[in-house]
Structure 1
Amino acid sequence: MRLARYEFDGKTCLGVVEGTEIVEAAAGAADWSEWFGFSDTARSRLTEALAGARRLPLSEVRLLTPLAKPGKIVCLGLNYYDHAAEGGNAKPEYPAFFFRGATSLLAAQAPIQRPRCSDKLDYEAELAVIIGKRVRHASRAGALDCVAGYACFNDASVRDYQRKTAQWTIGKNFDATGAFGPWIVTPDALPAGAAGLRIQSRLNGQVMQDSNTKHMIWDVAETIALLTECLTLEPGDVIAMGTPAGVGYPRTPPVFMKPGDRIEIDIEGVGVLSNPVVNEP
C-alpha cells in the first residue's frame, strides 16, 4: 500500500495511491500518524474510508511530504562500503549518526534550493524508514515490528558547509534540501527490511548512483536496534539510511547540482522522487 499526503481544492488530504490515481482516505487531515501500527481497528477504518471514496488522477493533486512534521529525522553517514571508500574513509566501526530538522524537508516535485552562500550542493540517494510504534531497546530480531513503511529520500548536502565542522549537521540542514517522498510504502509490499532493492540517483537523466540496499553496512533492523540502545523511537520518526557511491564531490571534476537541473531518486518497489533545482530566492 502506498500512503500519500496531498493537497487538493485547498485541503490537506490523506490517500492511497493506486496506479495513476489516488483514493481519498480523509480530507482535511494532517498526518498518517494515527494510522501507524495498523492495528485491526485502524485497518478496518482505512478499508471503510476507501470504500467508494473519491478517486483523483495523481496529476491533479499536489503531493506533500509523507509526514507533516516528523518528530526526529535520524541520518546515517558512510553506511555503504563503496561510499565510505570513495571519500577516503575506512569502514566505520559504528554508524555516523546525525540529525536533520523538519524545516529542511520538501516534497516530491518541489524545488530543491541551492543556497545563496554556496554552489556545492550535492545529491544523495537514500532509503527512508518511517517508524510506526514507540520502541526502546529493540532486539535485532524484533526491530522491524516498529516500521510503518519506507520512502525515498535525497539527503542533499552543502559540502563546504558540511566540512566546516567535524559534525556534519550544518551542511545537512539548509532549508529545502531534504527531499522526502513521494509516499510511504507499507512493509507488506516490500522484502523484510527493504533489503535487496536497487537504488539509483539520476541527474538530468544520467545515472549517477546505482547500487542495492543489500550493500548497506548496517541494515534497517540493526540500525533500529543500535539507535534504541540510546533513545526512544516514536511514531512519525524517520531514519535516512545513508547513500551509496557515486555522489558528486569525489568526481573529477566534482559534480554539483545547479539551477535548471532535475534530480531523481529511484528505489525499486518504492517509487521515484523527482525534484527540480533552483537558486534560493
Structure 2
Amino acid sequence: MKLLARAVLGDGCRFGEVAGDRFLVLEGDVFGEPRRNGRSLPRKDLALGPPLAGVRLVNVMGGFLEPGTTRPPERQPLWLPKAVNSAGGDGAEIVCPSILTGPMQIESELAVVVGRPLSKASPAEARQAIFGWTVFNDLTAPEYGALGFWAVGKSIDGFASWGPWIRRDLTEERVMEGLAITATVNGVRVQSGNTRYFCFSPSEMLSHISHRISLFPGDTVALGTPPPAADVAVGDHVACEVEEIGVLHNHIVAEP
C-alpha cells in the first residue's frame, strides 16, 4: 500500500488505497494488515477527509536551519502539542474566527505519522516506527504567539488540515536528501523551503518527544514550516505541497 486515504462514504468514512484515479476500499486495521475488499470507486466522486481521525497532533517549532549553516551543538528540539479539534482534509473549508484581532497564517509542512507505540525510544527505534508521511497545513493565530501562547494560537477549533493521504513507501533517508515544501495563496507562491534543511531528522524529533510523552499509532508530528509563515484572509484559496507526497487544498471562509 503506497497511498492510504480516508474518504467520506454515505454516513461514514472508509479507508482506502489511492491508485491512480481509483479509490480501493480497505478492510481491517490500517496499522496491521489491511486488505482490499474488491470495491473500487472513482476518486473524482469522493471527498477525502483527514487521513486519520481522533489522533494527537504535535507541532515542531523552529524546525529549519538557514541554508549554509549547521546546527549548534547546544540546540535542543522545540515542539508543543496542537490540541485542535475538527481537523480538515483536502478541499476543506477553514473558518477564520471573528475573535482574531490580527492575521490568520498558514504554514505548509511535512508531517510524520507514527505506526507503533513509542516510549523513550532511540532515533533508530523511532525510525522503525514511522508509518508514513503527509502534507500538513498548520494554521496559526500569531497574535497569541506574540504573547507566548503559541499553543493557543495553534489550537483554535479547525486550525489544522492534512492529507490528502499518507504516503507509506517513502524513507527517512529520502526525506533528508531533500523534498521541496511550498505554499501558494490564490496561485501566488508564498512559502518555499526544503526538508534537507531540517534542524533535526524526523526520527530524532520522534525520539525526543517519546522521552517526554509516549506516542501511539496515528499520532502525527508536523515537522515545521520554512519561514516565514504566510498571512491569509477570507476568500483565499490555499495550496500546501510537499514534493513526492501531494498537494493539500483549502479555502478560507468567514465564521458563520
Between the aligned residues of both structures, percent identity stands at: 28
Using the size of structure 1 for normalisation, the TM-score is 0.83
Using the size of structure 2 for normalisation, the TM-score is 0.90
Q: Which has the higher strand share?
A: 2
> Which deviations, in whole Å up to 9, do the C-alpha atoms of 1:170-220 show, x marking residues without a partner?
10011112111111110x244537321111111111111111111110110
Structure 1 equivalent of residue 58 of structure 2: 74
1:219 corresponds to which letter in structure 2? S
> Equivalent residue of 2:232, what SS?
coil
> Equivalent residue of 1:69, what SS?
coil
Deviation at 1:81, TM superposition (A): 2.2
Structure 1 equivalent of residue 254 of structure 2: 279
2:105 corresponds to which letter in structure 1? D
C-alpha RMSD of matched pairs (Å): 2.2
2:40 corresponds to which letter in structure 1? R
1:150 corresponds to which letter in structure 2? W
Distance 1:82 1:209, change over 3 A: farther
Structure 1 equivalent of residue 50 of structure 2: 65
Q: Distance in 2 between matches of 1:113 and 1:91?
A: 41
2:110 to 115, 123, 127: 127
Number of paired residues?
250
Structure 2 equivalent of residue 140 of structure 1: 123
Deviation at 1:127, TM superposition (A): 0.9
Moved over 4 A (4+): none
> Which deviations, in whole Å up to 9, do the C-alpha atoms of 1:88-140 show, x marking residues without a partner?
xx998222211112405211111111110124101101111111101112212
Distance 1:269 1:208, change over 3 A: same
Q: Distance in 1 between matches of 2:187 and 2:74?
A: 32
> Which structure 1 segments of 5+ residues have no match?
27-31, 249-255
Q: Distance in 1 between matches of 2:76 and 2:7?
A: 37
2:104 corresponds to which letter in structure 1? L
> Which structure 2 segments of 5+ residues have no match?
none
Contact 1:140-1:221 at 8 Å conserved across structures:
yes
2:166 to 184, 202, 218: 184
Q: Which has the higher helix share?
A: 1
Counterpart mapping for 1:233-252 below 5 A: 233-248=215-230
Q: Distance in 2 between matches of 1:267 and 1:91?
A: 29
Is 1:207 the counterpart of 2:189? The answer is yes
Q: Distance in 2 between matches of 1:184 and 1:110?
A: 17
Distance 1:191 1:222, change over 3 A: closer
> Equivalent residue of 2:151, what SS?
helix
Deviation at 1:156, TM superposition (A): 1.0
Contact 1:100-1:173 at 8 Å conserved across structures:
yes
Distance 1:92 1:198, change over 3 A: farther
